[in-house]
Structures are given as C-alpha cells and as structure tokens.
Structure 1
Amino acid sequence: MSEETVAVRALDGEEYLESLRDGRQVYFGGERVKDVANHPAFRNAARSIARLYDALHDPEMEEVLMKVDRWGIATHRFFAPAYSAQDLLEAKEAIAAWQRLSYGWMGRTPDYKASFMATLAADPEYYAPFGENARRWYREYASRVLFLNHVIVDPPVDRNRPHHEVRDVYVHVVKETGGGIYVTGAKQVATQSALTHASFVAANSGTAARFEEGKDEDFALVFLARMETPGQILFCRPSFELKAESPFDQPLSSRFDENDAVLVFDNAFIPWEDVLAYRDVQRAKQFYAASGFFNRFNFQATIRMAIKLDFMCGLLLKGLESNGTDGFRGVQVAAGELITLRNLFWALASAMALDPEPSLGGSVVPKLEYAAAARVYTNFSWDRVRQIFESLLGGSPIVTVSSYRDLMNPDLRPIIDRYLRGTGIPAEERIKLFKLVWDAVYSEFAGRHGLYELNYAGNNEQKYLDAFHWAHERGLADGFKALVDQCMSEYDLDGWKVPHWTWNRLGQ
C-alpha cells in the first residue's frame, strides 16, 4: 500500500462498522457470517467498539485520547511510541478513558495491540530486512487507529512432541514465492477477532522457547494477515450476547462479549510487505520482550484491570448497602481488601509510567520487572475478587426474578415490590443491581472472564518462569545474591568483621 492511500484520520464509529464488511470468513452456528457488524452474535460488541471510535472525535474526550506523533500522524496516545514518562502518563489516561466506556470488561480493545504496533515506529530496522514493512504498517495503523487481533498460542495438542513434528496443526510456512509466503496451521485464542481489521501472528515466549535452530525455522514467523485474506478462517465459540434476552437481565454480556475464536490458515497467502520476521528462530525468541511489547501490553492490562476493579468496588458497596450489612465490621474488613487491591493496581500502573526503561529507537517502555509483576497479579487477583463477593453477598444474587417480564406482570408486581425490595431501595432497583452482580460474577459470561483473567497473559508456570529467567538475564539475580553475600561478609566465627556492632560472647 502506498503512502498516498493511507487514511489521514482515525475511523469514527460508523466507518469502523462499515470496515468490517470485507468478505472475511467468520463461521458461527455452522454458517458463514455475511455481516458481522449486524449479526446478533456480534452486533452489540461491535457497537461497543464503535463507541470507542466515536470517542476519538468527541470534543470532550479528544484532548485526552489523541495526540500528533513525531511523524505528524494524529492518533490515539497509546498508538504512538512513548519517549518520556510524561508520554506514558498521558497514554495511561487515554487507555483509562477508553476502558471506562466498557467499565473494564473489554480487554482486547484496539489499544491492546497498540502495545506492539507502536513499537514498529520507534525502530523499524529492528525488523530488518523487513524494516520498511514495519514503517508502513505503523503509518496505516496509527493514522486510522486500526483494530488488530492477536494470536500467539498453539492449539493444546501434541505439546509433548517437538514443534516441527506437529506440522499438521501448528502455523508454518508451506511455500515461498516472489510475492510472499503461503502459511497453514491454527492459532488460538483469537479474542474479538471477528470484529478486527487484521490478525497479528507470532509465537509467545513459551512457544518460542521450544524452537530449535535447524528444525523449527518454518514456524519462526511474525506477520500480519488482513481479515479479508483468503484462507484465513475463524471458528467462533458460543455467543453470550446472542443468548442475552434483555439488558435488564444481562447488562454486561449483552454488549461486552468478546467472542473468542480459533484462527486457521488454510494455505493462506501473506504478501512479503506484511511479514516482520521470516524463518528467524532467534528473532522469534527475542521479540516478545525485546520489542517492548511485553512491557506495554501489561501496562494496558493493568489499567484495564484497575478500571474493572473500580467497577467491582462500586458493585460490592452497593450490594452491601442493599443488604443492610455495610455497617458490619467484618464486612468492612473484606470490602477494604477489595478496595486495597484496586489501589494496588492503580499504584502499579503509575509506577510503570513514572519509572520506565529505554527501548527501541530511544523510546521508553514500562520497566520489564514491573510488567512481569503486573502480569502475575492481574491474572490471579480475579479469583480473590470473586471469593470476596461470594463470602459477603452470600445468596443475595439468587434472590431476583426469572426475567424482566415478571416485573411487568401487574399481578406479580405488588408481591415483588413488597418482598424483593432492598434496604432503602425499591424492588426493581434491587433486582436490577443483583442481576448486574450475577452477570459480573456468576453467569456464563462471568465464567469466561475468570478463565480469561487467569490465562490471557500466558500459562500459569510461564508467568513465573519468565520472571525467573529475566531476573538472571538482566543481572537482578546477581544483585539479590550480592546483597546476601554482603550481609554474610560482615561476620564470621570470630564475630563482627565491621566496627558498627559489638558482640557479647556467651559467658562474658
């Protein structure tokens, strides 16, 4: 694509919805979806994303969300590389402003993949000999504020075998031509992919760690595939949005369901201009951390989780007030734990912005150690959130009605109003509140969120293994041990070896 064809402004909501009508191969319920923007399994989620795009053009939000980068491109603040702590602080506010529009319930919004795509501009030649591809993709991506999905995990099959022995499943190059490459294989989990503009395809740290030089070059790829790419097929999971009967009964799942999919390449053609790494085992192993992607995606995820915890704190407090238990000491203790957890994530997000480290091309990214900590604690904190809700609210979320229709029945309404009221609030308001609690904590939508929060940043062991290995690679482990060595060097069998302390020998 030439520079003349690159749009010079960010998409608005209507343009975004129209951009989804490109012939993509999305399958749901045994049929190919002709128009994802209007299909009942996706249409409200699509409009939740369209709302983000409209916000880019809202005079009241534009200053927080938008900036002009070093190349004169007007884009979302997190879509551009950061060159100072101030840049990261401003990006933090832009991410938070977008995330508040979905109350933290949509994690794979367009700013998620900005975690990586912004790094393309900082040092395109890091991707040599595909540096011009990186530069071109950044210009198109940033100027239009495109929405990319992200697939870096192999399907959970034959993981006990060497990578190159699973060519029937894992993504690999099958043919090279003058115009590009043909790839075949599957990746997961393509969250929100049906509503995106392109797929970013690579290997995560756990997968890349298994690559062997001389054997796995066909799998060592980093590329982008536009959603209309022939041979790119999405198989979607069931839609919680489709099952939602009304916003009163399913207020979150009816509009914020990020459908997950398995993405399959069936001899799909990828032009050379969309390739960033080709048959390069070392680059595939390094890009996850070296590119700055890891540091930045955990920055976005931490802010999103902080917004989600703001929401959950409010939801818990309102539930306790409705039950009349908000004044109990033990209840306040547990609610205080949730508030403290919320405070922790906001503090971590601020530290990630204010204490960055150098990255490609003179840019800065959140410090890797902070990002690794955020990766772990954002993942398992959600289980504790659910435990607090379950222990404090008990069976209250069950005490509702089957449907909004019960409240519209004139024979039932007086009985409901009397017996299902809350403390200081009428029955309709109490039921509305606890249906929101149910959708957030107990519904099928909520169950998927529990799985998402635990696994989206990597498998349980890999999170800790990465932190362990990076501590050794970056000299932190040596520093830890040196501190202990220093402590032990100050004494021996004869007593203190430094003059600061005295020693009373036994019997003296």
Structure 2
Amino acid sequence: MIRTGAQYREGIRDGREVWVEGERVRDVTAHPAFKPIIDVKARMYDMAHDAKFQDALTYTEGSARHSVYQQPPRTKEDWQRKWHAVDLLLNDIGGVATRLGDETVGEMWSLQDGRDILAEIDPRFADNIDNHIRRVVELDPFHVSANTDPKGDRSLPPGERDPDMMIRVVKETDAGIIIRGAKFETAAAYADQAYLKPTVGAWTNEAESPHAVGCIVKMGAPGVRHICRMPYANRAPAEDIPLASRFDEVEALVVFDDVLIPWEDVFFYRHTRAAQQVRATLHRYSAFPYVLRILYVADMMIGAAMWNAKQTGLEKLQSVQEKLADLAVYREGIRAHLTASIALAEVSPAGLLMPNQSILYAGRVLACSQLPAMMHAARELMGGQICVTPELAQFRGGAAPWLDKFYTLNKEWGAEDRRKLLAFARDLLNSDYAGHRLAFVQFAQAPHFNHLQAVYKSFDFSGPLDFVRRSAGMSERILGAAANKDKH
C-alpha cells in the first residue's frame, strides 16, 4: 500500500550511521542538513493520500492502491500519468528535486529486461528481480541508485588497485554475500534502499570478477556508513537561498564495511555478462524522469529571466526577446523529445513499454549538453545584479532606506519583490548550489561521452545507409555486408 510521510520518516529512523560536518547524526529526519529535502519526499508520499491528488498519483490493483511513480509502465497512458504526477508534485513543492525514487526505480525494470541472463547464472536471481519489483510496488520504498565507486588510480587495472576502491564480494555465506567498498550516492542518507551495481562496462578477462555484483542494500543495514558532504541548506537564511534551503539533495560517500546482503536481495555476482547488460541498458527507463526534471529547470530559467525583463521594462527589446526565444527553444526541444519518446514507445524484452530509446537518449544529450549555455543566457538576461545584491539582513537593517530606494523600480515593482527575484535567480544560476546542480546534471547519468554512446547504440543507421546506397546507385549486397559487420 502507499505510505504516508510519517511512515517514511519513521522508516529512516533506524539507527543508521550518518556523518555530516564531522559529527554523527542522531535523527536524520530532524537534522537541518536533511530535514528540508526529507520534508519534500514526505510530501510526495502524503500527496498520494490527499483527495485532491489521489486519483492522479495512484492506481488500484485488486483491492490495493499503489503509487503511479512505482508502477511498471505497460502503456503510453502509464507514461503520460507519470509525467502528470511529476508535474503535480513539482508545482506543489515549488521547485525541482531530482532524487525522489521515481527516477531510479526504472533501473530495476531495465534489469528485469535482462532476467534471462540472470537465470543463466542462477534461477533464483531472475526470481529475485521479479520479487523486488513487486515489493517496490507493494511497499512503496524510497529507492535510490548506487553507481559510482571511488575507483582509485584508474591508470592501473582493477586487480592492481586497492580492492576496496570498487565494491566487491569478499565472502559467500549461507545467509548471503558479504560486500566491502564504497559508493558515492545522492540521497542515500535519507533513502530506504539502494540498487547497487558496478560502473565498469569494459570487462575483459575478469569472468569471475568479485566486482561484478548487483544487489539491493538497505541504507540502515549494519556496516553501512554515510559520510555526507557539507550541505548548502544551513549556510544562510532561507530567504537568501530559496532553492538550496529546500532542495539540497545531499550526497554521501557510502562505505560498506563487510555488509551482509541476503540471498533474496542478490541479482548477480561474479558474472561480468550480467554487469555488461546492466551498463548497456541501465537508463532505458530512468532517463525519462531524469530529462523531465531538466524541463522544469528550463521553466525556472525562463520564468526568472522573463520576470526580470518585465520588472526592468526590457521585455520589448528585440535582443531580449531573442535570448528568451533561445531559452524557449531549448525547453521545447526537451519537451518534444519526451513527447516523441512516448508516442513512438517500444516494447521491452520483459514486455514493459520503454520510451523510444533513440529519441529519449537524443533528448538527454540536448538537455544536458546545452544546459551550461542556457544558464549563461539566463544570466545575461538577469544582468549583473544577481551577483552584487546584498543579503536579506541588509534589507532589514540600518541600510534598508537606501536599499529600498535603489531596488524599487516603479509603483508596480517594489524593492521586496525585486530582492526576492534576484535571490531566486542567484541561487538558480550563480550560487554554490547552482554550480553543484550543473555538475550533477553533467554526470548523474554518466558523462557526455556515455550519453553519445547510448545514442549511437540505439539509433537505427540502416535507414540513412540504405537511402544513400540507393541514391548513389551502390550495390545492394553492401548493405547486407555492413549489417553483418555491425553484428560482429
């Protein structure tokens, strides 16, 4: 059944070991570094119980009501409902949060598409992924992704590095496997569980590699230690950091110190073919909600820049309109790719409906690669005041009369609304938090070269090849030869 926000909070008060700013956190739900984003996740749960939203955010199966976010997609309507659910959530919370679970549960659907490979290793592993997808639907956990290892000196092969630099199996027991190592994870400190899998894609002679492991890890399990980065949320009054104070999704180096993974939570281990399958298909579903989040970031940039133009009376200048149009084209380009990926969706090997892979991955490249340029365009439209405007205390202190005078634009736009817009734009475009979010977009679903590789592998080159062959009058036999070469 769908959970409440209170049940979610209670579930993560499990004695987990969380460290931030050199101190052990006793209650992650009350600590100022985590409470704002935990409140956002709790609101996500509570909305599903609100009569105003329940029909849009849930579905019924038998006599049970489940979350649309966790529903394995089988129709185009399922994807439209997921999009609408995210729209309702982000409008309700008034901002963008990326790691809320709906964008990572799709990684398990991708693994289910490769269940035949899991069955080759051990039939239990194929059953485990089916069972966990069912448990996600039934128990509605906050599910995150455990991808990036510290890796160490990558000029050395894995066998010559400190073995703990990548997650590894150190022991097999009757109860399960014992793992050791570390992962960098977003939102791990306040999530229920993580899908842990290897980041290595180019396996060579490591057919029995102890690093080739995929499993579910409970974030409060014994031996799991969360060492978090310093948060942005407690550095300044919320009025000066209106986004960071609510949506800072704190990352952690999660250390696994001889953690027991019960057999029912193991999907594969010591099997590089399964690891390769994971890396090749990991984002076939999860890329959709991830790119959708960037659509809302584009909306925030457009809204901030347009309000600034209206406040300052510059919205009728052609040069301003052209830059706003650039932002609009970027935004609509993302929307077009998402819409088309649903319209031309494809049936997956497991019988789910996955967004059209070539279109979705092309949209991800557009959204991620162009974001730095679009942020700079928005900065230009906002002007230099986003980096020179004083903090709230100055507007409330002895300097208030001067600030009120010089930040009041006219009878319609007073100093307070001007300050609020500039504080919002600074946090969106020009702050530590803004830089962090930009770097996150560039690497959260792998770096750009992997994004391009995903497009290369999913795009159907046969159409362009055949068109040019026929247009140039080339022999028909070369098309078959090219296709055979691609297979090898």
Q: Which has the larger radius of gyration?
A: 1
- Letter of the structure 2 residue corresponding to residue 299 of structure 1: F
1:458 partnered with 2:446: yes
Describe the superposition over 1:149-170 as per-residue Cα deviations: whole angstroms up to 9, x where unpaired: 2111222522222233331311
Answer whether contact 2:59 2:68 (CA < 8 A) is retained.
yes
> Aligned in 2, Cα 1:76/1:289: closer, same or farther, shift over 3 Å?
farther
Map of 1:99-498 to 2, 5 A cutoff?
99-103=90-94, 105-118=96-109, 127-128=118-119, 129=123, 130-166=125-161, 167-188=163-184, 190-204=185-199, 207-208=200-201, 210-215=202-207, 217-243=209-235, 245-290=236-281, 293-402=282-391, 404-409=392-397, 411-423=398-410, 424-471=412-459, 476-489=460-473
CA distance in 1, matches of 2:43, 2:334: 26
- Letter of the structure 2 residue corresponding to residue 352 of structure 1: S
Answer whether contact 1:80 1:142 (CA < 8 A) is retained.
yes
1:10 partnered with 2:2: yes
CA distance in 1, matches of 2:287, 2:394: 44
CA distance in 2, matches of 1:258, 1:48: 10
Answer whether contact 1:92 1:353 (CA < 8 A) is retained.
no
Structure 2 residue aligned with 1:24: 16
TM-aligned CA deviation for residue 140 of structure 1: 2.5
TM-score, with length taken from structure 1: 0.87
TM-aligned CA deviation for residue 434 of structure 1: 0.3
Aligned CA RMSD, in angstroms, stands at 2.2
CA distance in 1, matches of 2:305, 2:456: 36
Structure 2 residue aligned with 1:65: 57
TM-score, with length taken from structure 2: 0.91
Describe the superposition over 1:61-94 as per-residue Cα deviations: whole angstroms up to 9, x where unpaired: 111111125x765222231112222222222212
CA distance in 2, matches of 1:465, 1:118: 21
> Aligned in 2, Cα 1:283/1:156: closer, same or farther, shift over 3 Å?
closer
CA distance in 2, matches of 1:22, 1:351: 43
Answer whether contact 2:9 2:42 (CA < 8 A) is retained.
yes
Answer whether contact 2:224 2:256 (CA < 8 A) is retained.
yes
> Aligned in 2, Cα 1:257/1:152: closer, same or farther, shift over 3 Å?
same
CA distance in 2, matches of 1:121, 1:285: 14
> Aligned in 2, Cα 1:121/1:488: closer, same or farther, shift over 3 Å?
closer
Describe the SS at the equivalent of 2:289: helix
Q: Percent identity over the alignment? A: 26
Describe the superposition over 1:279-309 as per-residue Cα deviations: whole angstroms up to 9, x where unpaired: 111111013444xx41211111122111221
Query: Quick check: 363-372 or 392-401, which moved more?
Result: 392-401
TM-aligned CA deviation for residue 418 of structure 1: 1.4
Answer whether contact 2:301 2:375 (CA < 8 A) is retained.
no
Structure 1 residue aligned with 2:75: 84
CA distance in 2, matches of 1:480, 1:425: 55
TM-aligned CA deviation for residue 185 of structure 1: 1.1
Answer whether contact 1:150 1:200 (CA < 8 A) is retained.
yes
CA distance in 2, matches of 1:354, 1:325: 39
Answer whether contact 1:66 1:75 (CA < 8 A) is retained.
yes
Structure 2 residue aligned with 1:506: none
CA distance in 2, matches of 1:318, 1:216: 58
CA distance in 2, matches of 1:103, 1:344: 23
Structure 2 residue aligned with 1:502: none
Answer whether contact 1:22 1:228 (CA < 8 A) is retained.
yes
- Letter of the structure 1 residue corresponding to residue 150 of structure 2: P
Structure 2 residue aligned with 1:93: 84
> Aligned in 2, Cα 1:125/1:66: closer, same or farther, shift over 3 Å?
farther
Describe the SS at the equivalent of 1:39: coil
CA distance in 2, matches of 1:126, 1:56: 36
Describe the SS at the equivalent of 1:183: strand
| Structure 2 unaligned regions, length at least 5 | 476-488
CA distance in 2, matches of 1:305, 1:362: 28
Describe the superposition over 1:226-266 as per-residue Cα deviations: whole angstroms up to 9, x where unpaired: 012111111111100121x3221111111100011112211
Describe the SS at the equivalent of 2:245: coil
TM-aligned CA deviation for residue 399 of structure 1: 4.5
Structure 2 residue aligned with 1:3: none
TM-aligned CA deviation for residue 214 of structure 1: 4.0
Describe the superposition over 1:343-391 as per-residue Cα deviations: whole angstroms up to 9, x where unpaired: 1111211112121111133211101112221221221222022111222
> Aligned in 2, Cα 1:73/1:160: closer, same or farther, shift over 3 Å?
farther
CA distance in 2, matches of 1:328, 1:15: 52
Answer whether contact 1:80 1:118 (CA < 8 A) is retained.
no
TM-aligned CA deviation for residue 119 of structure 1: 5.5
CA distance in 1, matches of 2:35, 2:409: 34
TM-aligned CA deviation for residue 103 of structure 1: 4.6
TM-aligned CA deviation for residue 102 of structure 1: 4.3
Answer whether contact 1:296 1:365 (CA < 8 A) is retained.
yes
CA distance in 2, matches of 1:66, 1:219: 38
CA distance in 2, matches of 1:294, 1:233: 27
Describe the SS at the equivalent of 2:234: helix
| Structure 1 unaligned regions, length at least 5 | 1-8, 492-508
> Aligned in 2, Cα 1:137/1:215: closer, same or farther, shift over 3 Å?
closer
CA distance in 2, matches of 1:75, 1:124: 24
